[in-house]
Amino acid sequence: MNTGKILPIFLMSSVLVACGGGTGASLSGVTTGTNASTSTSTSTTTTGSGSTTTDSTSTTTGSGASESTNGTTTDSTANSNTLSLTRNAVDAEYSDALERLITVSSSPDNALNIINPTTGEQQAVPLNLAPTSLAISPDGKTAVVGHSSGVTHINLQTASVLDFYDNIGFSVFDIALSGNGMAYATPASNALWGVLKAINLGTGEVKSSLSVVQMGGSYLQLAPNQNVLYIYDKSTLPVDLIKADTASPPAGLYDSPYNGEYDIGGSSGKGLWLTEDGGYILTAGETLFSTATTQDQDMLYQRSLSDDDNDPNTRLLHADNSQEAAKFVVILDKGITGTGSEYSLKTYAMPTLNLVDEKPVSDLKPTSTSDDPVIPQFVFFNSDGTKRYAVLKQGTGTYLINF
C-alpha cells in the first residue's frame, strides 16, 4: 500500500506558496482568476458519409484524394461507415444526453467539436488556447477543456463558451467536471509539488490540495454516485489507485490496498475508466476493481480480461462502458517488443469480462486507398449501447467509424 502521495495536512503547511501556483497565488493555496473574454462564434460542417461541406472555406478531411468546389471538400475515398473529421482529436468524450461525440482539436485550429455521428454534422466552438484534455459533466450538457495554465467551460447545448480562466498555474494534464460547476485538474509535471487543484468555474477561484501531491501525468475520473475522484497515480512505484474527495480544496482519502500485486498499467498506462453506475474501475492494465463507500471494500481486485495474455507490454489505450448493454468496449495495444503496436477493438461482457467481439484495427480501413497505418485513439458506445464508435487516425486524417 502506497500512501506517500496522500500527505497529512500539517506536512504541507510550509509549502503552501509552492502549491498556490498561477497569478495571484497566496499562502492559502487559493488563486482567484479574472474571467477572460473569448470568442463564442461557431462554425458548422456537415460531412455525411465522409464528405465535408463548409459555407465559405475549403477543408481537407482525409489522407486520400480531395475534391473542392465552391468551398466544399469531399474525401471521396472514405468508406461508407466512416465519417471524415474536419479536425484532429486531442481528447474525446461522448454525451449520452445529446447523442454527440465531443472532441477537442489543435489542428488545423484550436476548437471544441460537437459531432453528430448519425448525420455527420460537425459544429466547432473556437478555443483561445490549444487543448490538452477534456471532460464533460455527469448530465452530458457542459464540458471543460484543459489548457496550459487555463481552462474553458462550455455549454454543449448552445455551443458557446461560458467562462475562460488562465490562472490555473500549470499545464493541465487531465481534468474532471462535477455537476455543480467544479473542475479538478492534474498537472503535466510535478513542478511546484504537482498538486491536484479544484477550479470553481463560476468564480475562477483555484484551490490547491494540501494532501494530494506529486500528481504529474496522473489520470482522474469523477464517480458521481459517490461524488469522489478516483486517480490513476503515476507518480508511485508501482502505479496505484487513490481516492480523493471533491471538496475545495480536494483532500486525499486513501489508496488501494495493494502494492503491485495486480497490473494497473504501469507508468506508461493511459488511465482508468469507470462503469456508468460507478461500481467498477477498469484500468489500463486490463484489471477490474470494485468500488465502495467504505475503505475496507473499496478498490478491491475482481478479475482481469478473460483473454489477458499476462504480457506487461499489453495495455488498454481507451475504454467506455454501457450500462444498458452491460459491456465494456476497449482499445487494446499488444505493444509487441521490437515490432511495434498491434491494435484491436474488443468488447467484453460485464462484470465477467468475457470476450464478446474482437476486430483487429488493421481490418478497419477508414479510406479505400491509403496504405498508412491505422491508429485508434478513442472508443465509445452510444447512449443505449446499440452502437460502437471509434476515433481513428490514418495518415493526416482523423475519422469516426461505426463498427
Question: Band of the pLDDT at 88, cuts 50, 70, 90?
Answer: very high
Sign (positive or negative) of CA dihedral 355, 282, 375, 126: positive
Task: Write the pLDDT tens digit of every residue in 90-101.
Answer: 999 999 999 999
Alpha carbons 151 and 144: distance in angstroms, whole number: 7
Alpha carbons 319 and 41: distance in angstroms, whole number: 32
Lowest mean pLDDT among 140-154, 272-286, 333-347: 333-347
DSSP 373: P
Task: Write the pLDDT tens digit of every residue in 99-113.
Answer: 999 999 999 999 999
- Per the prediction, the chain carries an average pLDDT of 84
> What value does the mean pLDDT take over residues 280-289?
97
Alpha carbons 381 and 390: distance in angstroms, whole number: 9
Q: Is the pLDDT of residue 383 over 90?
A: yes
> What value does the mean pLDDT take over residues 274-285?
97
pLDDT for 77: 59
Q: Is the pLDDT of residue 356 over 60?
A: yes
Residue 135 φ then ψ, to 5°:
-145, 150
Q: Is the pLDDT of residue 48 over 50?
A: no
pLDDT for 30: 52
Task: Write the pLDDT tens digit of every residue in 228-278.
Answer: 999 999 988 899 999 999 999 999 999 999 999 999 999 889 999 999 999
Cβ-Cβ contacts under 8 Å for 19 (sequence gap 6 or more): 12, 29, 192, 193, 195, 208, 209, 210, 213
**What pTM does this model have?**
0.84
Lowest mean pLDDT among 36-45, 47-56, 292-301: 47-56
- Highest CATH level, class, for 27-47+86-217: mainly beta
On the question of a cis peptide bond just before residue 373, with omega within 30 degrees of 0, the verdict is: no
Q: Is the pLDDT of residue 148 over 50?
A: yes
